[in-house]
A and B are shown apart, each in its own frame.
Chain A
Amino acid sequence: MARSNLKFNKKAWDEIVKHVIDTEGVDRMKRVADAANGHIDSDGYQVSTQGDDPLDKRDYSATVITADAEAMADNAKHNTLVQEFHKAGGN
């Protein structure tokens, strides 16, 4: 059987994954963070991206984090992130 000469360009794949997350995922999480910040006086809900370099499989992601005490307390009291997460969907 002939051996395949197919080579996987891992670096280019990582760039595609990062591009998709940075252009699509961040916008979606920004909508969640903006809605969550509407519940508090600070901007304690913030968007974050994270991943190894080079990327492990599927490990690059955009998330909303609670970056200050007010956001942490608000989320623990009211489940704000779960309540607003649906804003990540759609266009």
Chain B
Amino acid sequence: MTTPVAPVIPYAAKVVRTYLTAALGPSVRVATKVPAERPAKLVMISTAPTSGGTNLVLSSRRLIIQVFHADETVAGELAETVVAHLKSARYVQGNGLRNVTVVGTPARFDDPDDSTPRFQMTVDVLLRAVV
């Protein structure tokens, strides 16, 4: 494989998963796919397309973040905690997140095939290419 001419943007879901895992602590599982056995508190990160902008070095990526818990209130409060950590991320050095824009604030958005309450938010994260 040849090296691309344009610098490579880090994988956004991995960057955010690492950041949220450290921020939320061991009682919350942060994952990029639903684990075979779902933990009590689960934060799921998935990607969605967006334009990303024209800057070669700084580029945004869109993420859908879903929060699950059997208790609606716990799930809702965890979702608000997640979005608060994301809004703080630009002030935390070394996490790779240059900025976070909340496109859609947390709201209950259940999976039609799953009775567990699910809250969802959409965020754009600004990342710097790895040289």
Contacts and interface: CB of A to CB of B under 8 A. Distances in A.
A85 B50 CA distance: 8
Contacts of B120: 79
A76 B110 contact: yes
Question: Chain A contact residues (Cβ within 8 angstroms of B): what range?
Answer: 10 to 19
Contacts of B59: none
B109 to A, nearest CB: 7
A76 B49 contact: no
Given A82-B62, A82-B64, A82-B122, A76 B111 contact: yes
A77 B113 contact: yes
Given A82-B122, A86-B51, 18 more contacts: A73-B112, A76-B109, A76-B110, A76-B112, A77-B111, A77-B112, A77-B113, A79-B46, A79-B64, A82-B62, A82-B104, A83-B48, A85-B48, A86-B48, A86-B50, A86-B62, A89-B51, A90-B51
Q: Please list the 5 inter-chain residue pairs (A to B) with the smallest Cβ-Cβ separation, ordered nearest first.
A: A86-B49, A82-B48, A89-B51, A73-B112, A76-B112
Contacts, number: 28
Interface of A: 73, 76-77, 79, 82-83, 85-86, 89-90
A83 B63 CA distance: 10
Contacts of A90: 51
A42 to B, nearest CB: 16
Nearest to A74: B112
Contacts of A82: 48, 62, 64, 104, 122
Nearest to B46: A79
Contacts of B50: 85-86
Contacts of A89: 51
